[in-house]
């Protein structure tokens, strides 16, 4: 819950639609995936990206309850995060809380092959992790 206020700040800035002034610096995305969060699961629950190429991961909370996207192994990864047109570059983002009916886009360049688990730790109205809300990010 500790990042909740940051998330609200992003949403309140949404109409401004800030963008980097220098579009040339925009990441060149070569691979995309979309994961839907609903019914205590990630769909699909496994996402695969290639190392060394910029990836775009879109998270859609299609549900009527809050869900989280927690990926501890991102602690040292630079991630460009876009919510409602607002873009922020972050280092070490490991937890996102997505309010119902919201979408977040993450862009990053995985440097090496590996397997990263992600999960939802929301507790209401029941424990989402215990309900099996986990997934795997494969970098090959």
- Our CB check for Cu ion shows the closer of 40 and 74 to be 40
- Our CB check for Cu ion shows the closer of 77 and 122 to be 122
- Our CB check for Cu ion shows the closer of 86 and 133 to be 133
Instruction: Give the C-alpha separation, 97 to 76, whole Å.
Output: 19
- Our CB check for Cu ion shows the closer of 70 and 93 to be 70
Least Å from the CB of residue 30 to Cu ion:
29
Interface ranges with Cu ion (CB under 5 A): 67, 120, 122, 128, 133
Sequence-ordered list of residues with C-beta below 8 angstroms from that of 71, at least 6 positions apart, any chain: 94, 116, 117, 118, 137
Q: Which residue is nearest to Cu ion (CB)?
A: 120
First to last CA, the chain: 32
Instruction: Give the dihedral sign, CA 122/95/31/10.
Output: positive
Are 43 and 69 contacting, i.e. CB atoms less than 8 angstroms apart? no
Least Å from the CB of residue 136 to Cu ion:
16
Least Å from the CB of residue 20 to Cu ion:
31
Least Å from the CB of residue 57 to Cu ion:
16
């Amino acid at each position: 819950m500790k990042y909740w206020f940051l998330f609200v700040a992003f949403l309140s800035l949404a109409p401004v639609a800030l963008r980097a002034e220098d579009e040339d610096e925009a990441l060149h995305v070569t691979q995309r995936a979309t994961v839907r969060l609903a019914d205590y699961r990630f769909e699909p629950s496994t996402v695969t990206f290639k190392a060394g190429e910029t990836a775009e991961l879109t998270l859609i909370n299609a549900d009527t309850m809050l869900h989280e996207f927690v990926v501890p192994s991102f602690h040292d990864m630079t991630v460009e995060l876009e919510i409602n047109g607002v873009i922020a570059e972050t280092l070490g983002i490991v937890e996102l809380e997505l309010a119902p009916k919201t979408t977040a886009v993450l862009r990053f360049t995985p440097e090496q092959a590996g397997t990263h688990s992600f999960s939802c730790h929301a507790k209401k109205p029941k424990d989402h992790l215990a309900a099996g809300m986990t997934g795997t990010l494969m970098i090959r």
